[in-house]
Amino acid sequence: MKHARIALIYLIAAVAAFVCGVLFGAVGIPFSEFVQDGALNPIVELRLVRTASAAVAGASLAVSGLVFQAVLRNALAEPFLLGVSGGAGLGAAGAILLGFSAWGFMSVPLFALLGAVAANLLVFVSVRRRTAEELLLGGVMIGTLASSLLMVLITFSHSHDMAGVIWWMLGSVQNVDPARQLAPAAVVLAAVLVFLLFRAGDVDLLTFGPEYAWNHGVNARVMTVLLLALASLLAAVTVSMAGIIGFCGLVVPHIVRRLHGGSHRRILIPCALAGAAFLMLADVLGRVVSPVRELPVGMVTAAVGCPVFLWLLNRGRAGS
């Protein structure tokens, strides 16, 4: 019952953040004007999509980070470790700078997804033993290579293209297509969550290391690769939808684990809900603080998350 109560508190927080996301922005809309002439107010409709996108992106990044930190047994692990951000950035920048964005709205997200998946596959193919440590190092190398190639592309680009790339890299949930981006991302998130709920015991055991997990009935090598691939898929789908949003996948799982500890079966749903609430509120903040020219959500997550994280870190140490 205690677990259910914790999850309920996070659910209430996420619902409250969703309501804030729909209510607040550059223009205030009273409840009475939500529906006009039998149709949903267009601004409310836009806010519903972007807030839902923030929820899915935040939950995906938080769950991805939770898995990375558990499997790699490293509190500094985050969703983009296996080259996802570098690959996605390269894919998106390639689409913008080489003129593929003229093919249509979906070309940039699609190229970003392809770049992320390609970088990820390259990591898994190029690392022979595929232990957590070697995958991590391989990911850092491939990510760095992709980032360097991205810099080369930017160096030879026009200034207006460069602005587009940089804006995309800062992360935003402003222009998400509900059918072609949000819905698939939500399906991937739901599928990964169901899988993780069933295999949370494996994740618990892997936090003690692969040999310990093996000795308790987990095929550690297979589960390590599978879990890291799923966590990277979550990150890749999110990055193709909303660009590179840092900090959420690093800070949220860390805070939830610090507050509630224990089994991943217990903290998985709270972590997803906390990630969703965090990114929805960060999006609202970006809209409210600077209504004319919105702050990119990735900047807000870093600005808010960093001091909160440091405060929690020091508070925990003082008490321990």
Partner 1 sequence: MKLTAETLVYTHPGASAPVLNGVSLEIAPGAIAALLGRNGSGKSTLVRLLSGYLRPDSGTVTLDGRPVSEWSASERVRRLAVVQQHVPLPLTDYTVREAVAMGLTGVSRFAASLTPEQSARLDETLELLDLTPFADRPCRTLSGGERQRVSAATALVRSPGLLLLDEPTSAADPAATIRIMGLLRRLAPEVGVLIATHDLQLALEYAGYAMLLHEGQIFASGAPGDVLTPEQLAPVYGCTFRRYDCEHRPVILPE
The residues of the shown chain that bind partner 1, judged by CB under 8 A, are 69-70, 73-75, 129, 198-202, 204-205, 207-209, 211-212, 214-219, 257, 261-265
Of 180 and 258, the one with the shorter C-beta distance to partner 1 is 258
Considering the complex, state which of residue 253 and residue 275 has its C-beta at the smaller distance from partner 1: 253
- HSE at residue 274, side-chain half, CA atoms within 13 A, is 26
Distance (Å, rounded) from C-alpha 30 to C-alpha 24?
10
Residue closer to partner 1 by CB (options 137, 200) is: 200
Distance CA 52, CA 45 (A): 11
Structure tokens at 169: 């890299």
- CB 200 → partner 1: shortest distance, Å? 8
Task: Decide whether 34 or 214 has the Cβ nearer to partner 1.
Answer: 214
Q: Which one, 190 or 259, has the nearer CB to partner 1? A: 259
Q: Which is nearer to partner 1, 218 or 300 (CB)?
A: 218
**What CA–CA distance (Å, rounded) separates 168 from 176?**
12
Distance of closest approach, residue 261 Cβ to partner 1, in angstroms: 4
Q: List C-alpha distances in Å: 54 to 49, 51, 292.
A: 9, 5, 20
Dist CA 79 CA 143 (whole Å): 12
Q: State in angstroms the smallest separation of the CB of 135 from partner 1.
A: 16
Following DSSP, what letter does each residue of 135-149 receive, concatenated? HHHHHHHHHHHHHHH
Question: How far apart are CB 14 and partner 1 at their closest, in Å?
Answer: 22
CB of 152 or CB of 222, closer to partner 1: 222
Distance in angstroms (rounded) separating the CA atoms of residues 145 and 141:
6
CA 218 to chain CA centroid, nearest Å:
27
To partner 1, the closest distance from the beta carbon of 212 in angstroms equals 6
Residue of 94, 153, 116 lying closest to 244 (CA atoms): 116
Min separation Cβ 276 and partner 1, Å: 21
CB of 59 to partner 1, least distance (A): 20
Q: CA 258, CA 316: separation in Å to the nearest integer? A: 8
